[in-house]
Amino acid sequence: MSDSETLLAEYQPAHIAAFSAEPQVFGARFSPCGKFLVAGSFLGQVRRWDANIEIPPVDPKAKKKKPKPVTEVKELPELKAHGGWVQAIAFSPQADRLLTGDSWGKLCCWNYAEENPQPTWTVDEAHDGWIQALDVSPGGTLVATVGIDKKVRIWQTADGKKLHELDGHIDAVLCAKFHPGGKFLLTGDLRGIVKQWDVTTGEHIRDIDATQLYTYRRLQNTGGVRVIAFDRDGKTLACGGTEPKTQGNVTGTPTLLLFDFETGKVTETMTFGGTTDVFVSDVQLHEEGFVMVSTSGTPGVGKFVFQRRGETKPFYTGTTMRNVHALSLSPDGKRIAITGTNNGSNGNGRRLNKDGTYPGNNSPVHVFELRGTTEA
């Protein structure tokens, strides 16, 4: 078998759960302990589900010897303190701390494992407007936040004290990631610029050019660095987004740029699909040498793929859902959660239900077990 066939035999996903979050959520994430799935909501709540999903037995009389995905997963009490959309969430790896940021600029810290968590601290105006992303340092002591106000800020996770305010981006900052070594912070913006910062001093070290993911036409900035990831040893930096083709209702090719972190040079450009797939919305660099990527763009289009570095085609493509905007690998590496938006989602011109109510959208959350072809 080829290397891709070997990987498929080991990592092909088996669909074990498919449940709906209504209204929409931004992306369900596994907690470091593996016991929870947590997601920020469009209504300001932080929602939690029990991640201990039991796989139902297979009906011996069934023609297909695969269990049907469970459709009900135990939901735990919500976390309530935000007023705006909660897009940004991240866990502290060493403690039961969850950091959340909303579209009004509020930052909260929680003990997410408690039965009915209350914020341990909050910063009401951590940013002037939307917190686009946040990340917690490998040691768990710092949280970095970025927003549409072009600001990058670093805070203590213990008490919410601000340590650094980092200026230099000239447009909205869309993503942030600490280097695995803990010494550096990387932030990516709408213009396709990735900035590297010294975490201790707050010094700007260098810019990394990801402008392949950006274009400016007809008075519109399009694209940008939407997601940043590192491999385990921090030698490879991945920047995801799109190579924009048109503005407005954006089209473009989902693109992942892989950089040698030491030199800051692109070593590989990976693409995933056509121009209607548009954005790489999330990425995970697997230790076995392949990437896990979700894509989303044109309404009704979206998928998640597993593709070896150095190859042009995925060895696995998941198309059981649409508008895929997040993926999360469980701490033990055995399960993956995929979050999207319901089929037929739309906004302007949507018809009312027969009872006169407006049918809102929801977020299907799919959980897969990475068990390979021999058991899938």
Q: Give the model confidence (pLDDT) of 245-259 as tens digits.
A: 887 788 899 999 999
Token pair 């011109």 in the structure block, residue? 349
Residues in Cβ contact with 290 at an 8 Å cutoff, skipping those fewer than 6 apart:
7, 306, 307, 308, 309, 315
pLDDT value, residue 298: 78
Mean pLDDT within 96-109: 98
Distance set, CA 159 to CA 57, 105, 155, 270, 334 (Å): 46, 17, 8, 40, 34
Tell me which DSSP letter residue 5 carries.
H
For residues 314 and 61, the model is more confident at 314
Query: CA end-to-end span of the chain, whole Å?
Result: 18
3-state secondary structure of 290: strand
Residue 181 near residue 139 (C-beta atoms within 8 A): no
Degrees, nearest 5: CA angle 234-35-41? 85
Residue 80 near residue 45 (C-beta atoms within 8 A): yes
Q: Read off the tokens for 254.
A: 């989902």
For residue 248, which of 218, 281, 279 has the smallest C-alpha distance? 218
pLDDT of residue 150 exceeding 90, the answer is yes
- Which of 100-109, 112-121, 225-234, 297-306 shows the lowest per-residue confidence on average (mean pLDDT)? 297-306
DSSP string, 136-147: E-TTSSEEEEEE
Q: Read off the tokens for 340.
A: 């999207």
Percent of the chain beyond pLDDT 90?
A: 77
Mean pLDDT within 154-168: 98
The CATH number for 25-209, chosen from 2.130.10.10, 3.40.120.10, 2.30.30.60, 2.40.100.10, is 2.130.10.10
Strand-pair category, 265-271 with 279-285? unpaired
Task: Write down the mean pLDDT value for the chain.
Answer: 92
pLDDT value, residue 375: 43
Residues in Cβ contact with 65 at an 8 Å cutoff, skipping those fewer than 6 apart:
58
Instruction: Give the long-range contacts of residues 206-209, CB within 8 A, separation 24 or more.
Output: 206/264, 208/237, 208/239, 208/259, 208/264, 209/264
Alpha-carbon span 180 to 347, nearest angstrom: 40
Any idea where the domains of the chain sit in the sequence?
Answer: 25-209
Residue 150 near residue 169 (C-beta atoms within 8 A): yes
Residues linked to residue 150 through DSSP beta bridges, in sequence order:
none
Residues linked to residue 365 through DSSP beta bridges, in sequence order:
19, 339
pLDDT value, residue 373: 55
pLDDT of residue 349 exceeding 60, the answer is no
Q: Give the model confidence (pLDDT) of 296-347 as tens digits.
A: 987 778 899 999 999 999 999 998 787 899 999 999 999 999 999 887 666 5
Residue 48 near residue 36 (C-beta atoms within 8 A): yes
For residues 322 and 53, the model is more confident at 53
